[in-house]
Chain A
């Protein structure tokens, strides 16, 4: 029983972790992309469609990543090249993504999907309890863990990661030192988009292998909150993602048990939890100020 619950927690947490990690990298470079929800839903619909057409969920995963990345490029062009307002453009991305995915996915509604199958790691999967939880998972779960570890190394140990943090701290200085601010930001935005697309693919290929309109249900926004919660650190983000996964699974199980609380109240729990967490994190202005990338959301026009 516990094992079953924990397994569902992992499945629920994985898309949050991946999408938030992508946004974390984007924000570390000083760009605020509020379009996570839109990129995620585009990833979900593209992954599902590609899987239905080709029969291979792995091609679906690639399609999800590509769709998220391509969609983020649109955001990048507007905010980095045309210096449009980042908040408004992120909203536009979400609105367009929700609309476009509904249009593209219309013919797939109600079709049974193909689930991404687990990859069993030899030997390790035989470890009692932990083996079943951690080593009989699908590709996207393994990717999520690898990405968290990899990004943590990248940001704090590699020189390119240092450059990215420098841009997020002060883009004018970075430019004066000869670091290509716009190119780095494009890459960071696209990484964020690819991650959101991958997270969307997880939803339509693993979490609930089917296409339902608006199936992201605000997860993109929760991912944004997670980045703040994690104070822009990948390892804390992993913990936060699992906390949120636990809340959303907890409410599902509570609904199944029928404990006499209206289902709507339980469904609202993840959203309430997000608000509560945001309050706890942000009420200390001092720590927020120290952790937030100083150039986050500010426009940058290089002079040449």
Chain B
């Protein structure tokens, strides 16, 4: 299957009335989209708007329920990624489609013609890496690579097929600002070669900077097509969300109170071959403060959360102190009893058990901290389902959790509503210390703004809040202090107003020794 050169009048790719149903739910309905040759086209929309479903149909992973796809003006049916690649469509996935146990060359080989030898693939990959400025070692195992390097594999893999259209799904969500800049240069090179790019994002600034046109999705429908350079972030956001989303109101920052959580020279060796070890971490958060910890995924955020929560206790009891008590070797419930609350990153299978009802998921976090209210019968520990149920309804009301039925399974809630419940579950106890990992990851804008507001309010009411996040916008919205984690080490904390985006970017890239020196000069 060879592709003829698209004429200037014809768009390279046209989508007409494309629809996808999952049971009764319409993930995409009646989508129209045109992508011209040599343009960078943005697909904008918030989480759950249908962006991923749409591109999965374009790449042959999902079968459309209706509508048609025109490639170079001809209708095509794309039933597998192989056919998409043969047409000239390449894809860079958001959660990479890579294999940890295989080498870079093997990973690339998997999407190429089996007749090409591994040696040849390595050579070709090395050549392309040079041309597009994407350094890679073909013999390295993926498990040993950073997130940025993994993305390069995906891009090189797509480029090796000499595609006419490259789809990138939220590519910068895992990159430092500097890494993102390098990616944009690569995209401009591709554009100058006459290739098209479909760029999926919910980051408005980025889209305004690099994209020629934008199609906006909301609830599975197109709400508009525009030239993003002519729009303001606010007007784009309105198209995306439908209404104006309330910004987080912070008010005056009061003077911090007593130290609530303190970590000193916390070092934890890596637990598994794929984990990061923590190196000499220091932090201190007082009542009324929000410490945000920025960093690129996979730099020890999960490990830091595990150590702070006590899910994996550490060997040095004095390394972690909550409200003046050493708790390094204590478990998570002992820390909860001291007034701490925790919200892990992963909702399903960590913060909540998907198949269990909300009331069970409430008990999950609070069976010991609210023992007297939720349990009876002494050592038998009989669950008081009535009390747990009442508390569940209270939390859902407080956080505006939309659900079907009185007490549905966690799996039936949308990401945003489940996250509101999980955060609300902790807020309901008014914890003196709250540690949250990626509070709004994969959450719609309305829920995200509500959660951020709740975190700020909690601090204002006199609690200490630690927010671990990859989202720099979020960090600037909620933080009173900012520190950066990279390769298992944590920078010192700076007052939020003192750090620029560029500085954080450099620190995220691991250059925080120099900034450290710089900072100490400055003060």
Contact = CB atoms under 8 A, between A and B. Distances in A.
B178 interface: no
Interface in B106-129: 106, 109-111, 114
Interface stretch (A120-128, A165-173, A266-274): A165-173
A239 B101 CA distance: 24
B110 to A, nearest CB: 6
B256 interface: no
A192 B117 CA distance: 29
Interface stretch (A17-25, A96-104, A242-250, A286-294): A286-294
B247 to A, nearest CB: 36
Contacts of A293: 101
A304 B99 contact: no
B110 A289 contact: no
B96 A159 contact: no
26 contacts: A162-B110, A163-B110, A165-B99, A166-B102, A166-B106, A169-B102, A170-B97, A170-B98, A170-B99, A170-B100, A172-B97, A173-B97, A174-B99, A176-B61, A176-B81, A177-B81, A177-B111, A178-B60, A178-B81, A178-B111, A179-B110, A286-B272, A286-B273, A290-B101, A304-B62, A304-B63
A166 B63 CA distance: 23
B100 A294 contact: yes
Contacts of B6: none
Contact of B101 (A163, A165, A172, A174): A165
Contacts of B93: 176
A177 B96 CA distance: 11
Contacts, number: 63
Contacts of B80: 178
Interface in B64-117: 80-82, 84-85, 93, 96-102, 106, 109-111, 114
A177 to B, nearest CB: 5
Nearest to A160: B114
A177 B273 contact: no
Interface of A: 159-160, 162-163, 165-166, 169-170, 172-179, 286, 289-290, 293-294, 303-304
A223 B114 CA distance: 33
Nearest to B85: A178
Contact of B102 (A165, A303, A304): A165
A176 B62 CA distance: 10
Contacts of A177: 81, 97, 110-111
B114 A159 contact: yes
Given A178-B82, A290-B273, A304-B63, A166 B114 contact: no
Contact of A166 (B85, B110, B273): B110
Contacts of A172: 97
Nearest to B84: A178
A84 to B, nearest CB: 16
A169 B81 contact: no
A102 to B, nearest CB: 38
A294 B81 contact: no
A170 B99 CA distance: 6
A169 B111 CA distance: 16
A173 to B, nearest CB: 4
Interface in B36-82: 60-63, 80-82
Q: Which of B62, B99, B102, B273 has the most CB of A within 10 A?
A: B99
Interface string B1-28: 0000000000000000000001000000
A169 B100 contact: yes
Nearest to A178: B81
Contacts of A176: 61, 81, 93, 97
Nearest to B96: A173
User: Of residues A162, A163, A175, which shows the largest number of chain B Cβ atoms within 10 Å of its Cβ?
Assistant: A162
Nearest to B113: A159
Contacts of A179: 110
Contacts of A159: 109, 114
A173 B111 CA distance: 11
